[in-house]
Structure 1
Amino acid sequence: MTELRFDGKVVLVTGAGRGAGRTHALLLASRGAKVVVADPGVAMDGSGHSNGPADEVVNEIKAAGGEAVASYESVSEEKGAAAMVEAALDSFGRLDAVINNAGIAAPELFEDHVAGDFRRMLDVHYLGTVFVSQAAWGYFVKNGGGRIVNTLSEGAMGMLNMQTAYGGAKGGVIGLTLALAAEGPKYGISANGIAPRVSSRMSSPEVLSHVNQRPAENFVRVSQMFPPELCSPAAVYLAHESCPLNGKMLVSGGGQVMRVAFMQNAGISSDNLTIEDIAGNLDTIMDMSAAVHVGVGAS
């Protein structure tokens, strides 16, 4: 198969200073893309600020012969999101794709979370994805299209502990992604999502120990199995102009790529539906053996 390259293309990657965002940016640059490395250099919980992470990735790309520019803005602010897109246009004259990867984490039990925890997660994960996507959307519409890749999480699917704030916000990103995919095709815009399985500071042995209430040493091997480099090919493919997908969600990590989707069965129907009808036919309602995909990503 012909090598998939990004020569002449410009891609904005948020949260690109560390973890999967960093490896997304490096892979894009190695395939010829000009990259906007957006990262405010915050701590895992969103506090603080440092230009260091973004600068380090930009320098790494340039040292390898690529082109990149840093942005230190926060995705949680509309002006910051707009500035990231402006950085692409000012530096490279165009924008072809956005990978919304920025994220924070502070896992705790639901009863131990306070309102501010939920707001912070929504500000970065959900609204951050909204603001960056919307800032790019107008340019994409005017210029005949573009690609949006949003970072999802299996935490939104009830697969991880202590994820009510983080997973709830990521659930919003899932809904946003599929809704964007419904609106985008008439403008030549696609929107897809990727749920990474990667070892990062948000999934370190220490964090996993806290989440699962087991010793940190139990998770060292797991962390070694999921380097971010093995997730990036799926994210970068979704950003490539040849990718035919729209409204699809992938899970990727440890060398695997899988699809996840919403499905619906035929259920039951009645002109005079009662509570007893539901109770008496619960097995049929719950049977997903003949279920079909629903939504814009149904095919």
Structure 2
Amino acid sequence: MTISFKGKVAIVTGAGNGLGRSHALELAARGAKVVVNDLGGARDGTGQSSAASEEVVALIKQAGGDAISHGANVANFDEVQDMVQQAMEKWGRVDILINNAGILRDKSFTKMSLEEFQLVVDVHLMGSVNCTKAVWDIMREQNYGRIVMTTSSSGMYGNFGQSNYGAAKMAVLGLMNTLVLEGAKNNIRINALAPTAGTRMTEDLMPEDLVKLLSPESVTAGALTLCDDDAPNRMILAAGAGGYASASMFETDGTFIPARQQTPESVRAALSEISNIEHQKAPQSGVEQGEKFVGKAMAYLASKN
């Protein structure tokens, strides 16, 4: 069945270039009204220009679609609120939010200033928080919402020189995991996209031929499946160069150590059993971990009676 966004209103941040531009154009091509957000700065976050976002809006309108541009800095909640208010005044609803805006300040941790760390966290993490907060009650009241966080393999697995970026990209998964629980009763589904694409964020990190293979469009095909009425919930979808995979955080079943034996030495001795992946599971809430451990303790006590 063809995925359509007719009648839907979408906000895409960082949509002037690269992945965001691709997401915005394809959403519009499939019927969505789109807020094309872009501060218009360089990839390190410096500077500001509306040219890129206005070009995307012009392309959407030339193709018969409807869109507006907004230059909100996603790290500034007041500007984000103004962006959402303009969307509400024009179209009366917001159905989809793709948190895509980002900057890079890559350096090894020893050379990175705290300011450079904070700047990246402010855009990637707090930018996602600000935009999500600004649309959250709207989506709750209309009992519909689709939100996409943009995470990264750099956060899930690490990447040299990207402690700031990796920390922020892992943090948005923590945000997603809780919002999935809080939004469920109002039909708000939150997923995460882990893209590998040849954009201006990565253009000098990869050979030209590889950049062409890693097209933004292949990632957008994945992103839009996370925005649909039938979207999954709490999925981390990795996408790049035509490859698609899901990522999850698993926890082993683990072991139980009685109170009198709970020493560092006994934990070390049990590490192979603690790390045994045979019965690992992906918990659906933080409470599940506590329930598992309490269950093991209760089973031990019952065995002694």
Same fold judged by TM-score > 0.5? Answer: yes
2:279: which partner in 1?
290
Task: Work out the CA distance in 1 between the residues paired with 2:240 and 2:115.
Answer: 31
1:15-164 matched pairs, under 5 angstroms: 15-164=14-163
Q: Report the CA distance between 1:159 and its aligned residue.
A: 3.7
* 1:192 and 2:176 matched: no
Deviations 1:223-270 (A, max 9, x none): 222110000011111111121x11121111111221101101111111
- The one-letter code of the counterpart of 1:224 is K
Checking the alignment, whether the CA contact within 8 Å between 2:139 and 2:145 is kept in structure 1 is yes
Question: Please, what TM-score do these two structures have when normalized by structure 1?
Answer: 0.92
* 1:228 and 2:216 matched: yes
**Residue of 280, 283, 287 corresponding to 2:269:** 280
**Residue of 253, 256, 271 corresponding to 1:266:** 253
Deviations 1:106-149 (A, max 9, x none): 21101010010111011101111001000000111111121111
Q: Report the CA distance between 1:201 and its aligned residue.
A: 1.0
Task: Work out the CA distance in 1 between the residues paired with 2:214 and 2:238.
Answer: 12
- The one-letter code of the counterpart of 2:34 is V
Task: Work out the CA distance in 2 between the residues paired with 1:190 and 1:296.
Answer: 15
Checking the alignment, whether the CA contact within 8 Å between 2:158 and 2:166 is kept in structure 1 is no
SS in 1 for 2:201: helix
**153-162 or 121-130, larger mean C-alpha shift:** 153-162
Task: Work out the CA distance in 1 between the residues paired with 2:72 and 2:252.
Answer: 44
Q: Report the CA distance between 1:32 and its aligned residue.
A: 0.6
- The one-letter code of the counterpart of 2:86 is A
Q: Report the CA distance between 1:87 and its aligned residue.
A: 2.1
Question: Please, what TM-score do these two structures have when normalized by structure 2?
Answer: 0.90
1:170-249 matched pairs, under 5 angstroms: 170-204=169-203, 206=204, 208=205, 219-243=207-231, 245-249=232-236
Point out where structure 2 has 5 or more consecutive residues left out of the alignment: 289-305
Q: Report the CA distance between 1:92 and its aligned residue.
A: 1.6
SS in 2 for 1:41: coil
Q: Report the CA distance between 1:296 and its aligned residue.
A: 4.9
SS in 1 for 2:104: coil
SS in 2 for 1:236: helix
Q: Report the CA distance between 1:290 and its aligned residue.
A: 2.7
Task: Work out the CA distance in 2 between the residues paired with 1:164 and 1:29.
Answer: 35
Checking the alignment, whether the CA contact within 8 Å between 2:39 and 2:71 is kept in structure 1 is yes
1:256: which partner in 2?
243
Rg larger in 1 or in 2? 2
SS in 2 for 1:186: helix
**132-141 or 246-255, larger mean C-alpha shift:** 246-255
Task: Work out the CA distance in 2 between the residues paired with 1:168 and 1:133.
Answer: 19
Checking the alignment, whether the CA contact within 8 Å between 1:12 and 1:84 is kept in structure 2 is no
1:212: which partner in 2?
none
Deviations 1:156-202 (A, max 9, x none): 12342211011111111111111111111022211111111111111
Give the % identical residues. 36
Task: Work out the CA distance in 2 between the residues paired with 1:184 and 1:199.
Answer: 33
- The one-letter code of the counterpart of 2:138 is Y
- The size of the alignment, in residue pairs, is 285
